[in-house]
Chains A and B, each alone.
Chain A
Amino acid sequence: MKSSAEVFDRIASRLSDREGEVAVSHGILVANLAPGGVLAAARLLRDELGFDVFLDVTAVDWPGQDPRFEVVWHFYSTSHKVRVRVKTRVPESNPSVPSLTPLYGSAAFMERECHEMYGIGFEGNADLRPLLLYEGFVGHPLRKDYPKEREQPLVAYRPGFELGERG
């Protein structure tokens, strides 16, 4: 087993042929890529660099910035015992990135969650039904502009109880 610095060097040299920047931050290799380069980078990580575990996909909402959303993936290699973080920025008008379900089956549920919470589209994931939320929920609750008090109950409240802010 090589040291993580060696592994990072090797990955960085492979990833930096493409558009984007690669750096080590707090013991994790972080690659900032363009949305179009994510799928190819993930394929490279899985097929050639030994990153066999897909840990997570989530998003960050940066209100007021453009592009507004940052989508973040984490991969882990059970042979090298290191993690890699891949990030990309997508605009509010078209918050869409390629789905990693062709590469990692476990991405399906995580993409569903990221989709309902942040409204990120995953092209190629055919099943983006709500996972933790319910059918009929309007909006994306983890976006910073979702009102904290807004309630969307499934059961009508008893008389005398007001709904929180309706948006």
Chain B
Amino acid sequence: MSAERRIIPIEPAGSPGKSAAFEYISTRKDELIGWARKFSIFPYPFVTACCAMEFMAVSSTPYDTDRFGAALPRFSPRQSDLLMVVGTVTHKQAPILLKVWEQMCEPKWVMAFGVCATSGGFYQNYAAVPGIDRILPVDVYIPGCPPRPEMVIDGIMQLQDKIARQKHVIVTKDF
């Protein structure tokens, strides 16, 4: 063996110079973590208006969102990773919503539940924010006024697909 020093480069995944083997392994790790994360969604319900009724319906026994690992709401933004914005958000409330979102730890996702959160719905006036995507990034939109529980479940499943497909930054070459 030569006296050459072995250098282990420390590079994040995705930087040039990565090997095909590493790429393969890290893809599989992303999948593994995505799989774990998509079944442990802890929602924070930011409930402001009539959509709350539908939220209660969908989180109760007949629809059983625990099948998707998304049943247990956390009422602290620090313990949750899905912000469910359920109902109309007014301009006066927007700073509160933004603060809640800022307090959530990464990784975090946002769901706009109902047309009010999605686009303001039928409200076009001085009071309502015309869509929460104006103030924070939204991952999944659920239309309907209010959406049916099946639509909410479809939204959760779409979010799960999105989480599974995501690159999870926790995975670096040194992981």
Contacts and interface: CB of A to CB of B under 8 A. Distances in A.
B130 interface: yes
A123 B95 CA distance: 33
Contact of A154 (B95, B125, B136, B137): B95
A132 B135 CA distance: 21
B126 interface: yes
B92 A134 contact: yes
B135 A158 contact: yes
A150 B126 contact: yes
B130 A151 contact: yes
A153 B94 contact: yes
B133 interface: yes
Q: Is the interface of B mostly helix, strand, loop or mixed?
A: loop
Contacts of B91: 134, 151-155
- Give the interface residue-count category, chain A: 10 to 19
Nearest to A134: B92
Interface stretch (A10-18, A40-48, A141-149): A141-149
Most A CB within 10 A of own CB, among B92, B94, B134, B136: B134
Interface of B: 91-92, 94-95, 98, 124-127, 129-130, 133-137
